Structure 1
Amino acid sequence: MITLQLIGIGTGNPAHLTGEAVAALNAADLILVPRKENAPDLADLRRSICAAVLTRPVSIAEFDMPVRAGEDYIQAVHDWHDAIAAAWTAAFHAHLPCGGTAALLVWGDPSLYDSTLRIAARLAGAAVRVVPGITSIQALTAAHAIPLNPLAGAVTITTGRMVRSHGWPPGADTLVVMLDGGCAFQTLDPQGIRIWWGAYLGMEQQALDHGPLAEAGPRIVAARPALRARHGWIMDVYLLRKEPL
């Protein structure tokens, strides 16, 4: 029997791991570390987190992360998830042939706009345990010292793809936009909208900007490629709020 622990690691700062997450990593028999050809620093970051919190030797197995391919987005994602599940299974067979506990470090929290739980559901006979982490939303609002919601207002959590396709959701006062590599806020009428943006939240290279969307938006669009070039990768999130009329 394999038990897979999905451990939320926040935005990559070892100080953001909960005590439960640290205990789970130290109790594991194996830690899985995915390697991405276009973002090798992310594997390095996972290794540094392990080095910072492990108090006993734990085997670490690295695997090459499959690449999503295909024009049909939904089918491509399903095929991609199947390939990732197969890579995990191969690692279990190679390193835990008699069973045991494996751990996978997940950015943010495994429940929020992350497919790790859907991939884990493809593992036949494996038990899955989730250790929640600090989400990028918590890190963003903390970095800017703002509340998530306006007084008695609604919050919608969505993706850049949805904003680009459908615009501002009806009835929402505040949008939190995740998984947006193309600055989808550019498709919105900026009049009366403010933005709070953050990249590498909680880390030494943290970058923040905020203000009226018409003013801060172009700065963010210019900053993202420069930050990616400097660090080799970027993870960011932003909050949009309509100002009272």
Structure 2
Amino acid sequence: MRTILIIGIGAGDPGQLTLAATEAMRRADVFFLLDKGAEKHDLIALRQELMAGFARPDHRAVEVRDPDRDRSADGYVRAVDDWRRERADLLEAAIAEHLPDDGCGAFLVWGDPALYDSTLAVVEDILARQRITFTYTVIPGISSVATLAARHRIGLNRVGRPFLVTTGRRLAAQLPHDVDDIVVMLDAHCAFTQYVDEDLDIFWGAYLGTADEILIAGYLPDVAECIVRTRREARERKGWIMDTYLLRRRDRPISARAASRP
């Protein structure tokens, strides 16, 4: 039976590959790479660098053009579902064509496959169709969230307190009032600018783990404009950007935090 390895490769630094990830890469006969177009060729190039360093010399790479997602659609969840189905169509065909019945294929997943990544859902979709059969294994990776904390030399949580991982879309709808440490991913519109009147620090990072890494931290009202400008300039320069940040409420007495909740 075919085997698929879903390998978390960290946030871009080859040094973040785990031993389990390198061992899995040596097992793979075929690597399936999603090509996101010329603007994001860096993402393919970094994967190719990892394969050159850790995969078997006889490995093969199959590039599949990633379908474009309808970002103007009113129904966000439906648009994502449609996009995942298109991905599943293309990857199912690629596996059927390029991976023999006893072969081992691999997906190299940015960060960790369990955190805001579609690969697991796409693989389950392919299996549910029952047109091709394979087993799969997930190898965890170092996420951009962990890399952000390491680069800023901070903990994600404070003693006895939880932290929340959410998206820019949800942050734009509401700033959570029941948690003081909020990690935000997938924020294309700098939702943090809505909360410059709040007593918040921000720890921001872009292209984490790569040679282009950018870090900015400080009191949100003081650095928000700098982050927006830096982010815009970086995106214009490279054609794409991946960034993550932590919003942290400054310490207040528990009674004060409770009083501020609606």
User: Aligned Cα RMSD in Å?
Assistant: 1.4
Shift, 1:71, TM fit: 3.3
Structure 1 residue identity aligned to 2:194: T
Match of 1:122 in 2: 125
CA distance in 2, matches of 1:43, 1:190: 40
- The C-alpha deviation readout for 1:16-40, integer Å capped at 9, x for no partner, is 1111111111101110111112422
CA distance in 2, matches of 1:145, 1:40: 30
CA contact (8 A) 1:194 1:211 kept: yes
CA distance in 2, matches of 1:131, 1:205: 26
Task: Provide the TM-score with structure 2 as the length reference.
Answer: 0.89
Q: Which moved more, 1:122-131 or 1:13-22?
A: 122-131
CA contact (8 A) 2:28 2:55 kept: no
Shift, 1:46, TM fit: 1.4
Give the 3-state SS of the residue equivalent to 1:190 in structure 2: coil
Match of 1:198 in 2: 205
2:84 maps to which of 58, 81, 86: 81
Q: Which moved more, 1:181-190 or 1:76-85?
A: 181-190
Structure 2 residue identity aligned to 1:5: L
- The C-alpha deviation readout for 1:122-147, integer Å capped at 9, x for no partner, is 12233221100001111011001011
Match of 1:105 in 2: 108
Shift, 1:181, TM fit: 1.3
CA contact (8 A) 1:16 1:134 kept: yes
CA contact (8 A) 2:8 2:140 kept: yes
Match of 1:8 in 2: 8
CA distance in 2, matches of 1:55, 1:228: 34
Match of 1:180 in 2: 187
Structure 2 residue identity aligned to 1:110: P
CA contact (8 A) 2:33 2:62 kept: yes
Match of 1:35 in 2: 35
- The C-alpha deviation readout for 1:78-118, integer Å capped at 9, x for no partner, is 11111111111111122114342110011110001112111
Q: Which moved more, 1:76-85 or 1:227-236?
A: 227-236
Structure 1 residue identity aligned to 2:191: A
Q: Percent of counterpart pairs with the same letter?
A: 40
Task: Provide the TM-score with structure 1 as the length reference.
Answer: 0.95
Q: Name stretches of at least 5 consecutive residues in structure 1 with no aligned partner.
A: none
Q: Which moved more, 1:132-141 or 1:53-62?
A: 53-62
CA distance in 2, matches of 1:3, 1:68: 28
Alignment of 1:125-164 (within 5 A): 125-164=133-172
What count of residue pairs does the alignment treat as equivalent?
244
Deviating beyond 4 angstroms after TM superposition, the runs of 4 or more aligned structure 1 residues are none
Q: Name stretches of at least 5 consecutive residues in structure 2 with no aligned partner.
A: 128-132, 253-262
Give the 3-state SS of the residue equivalent to 2:120 in structure 1: helix
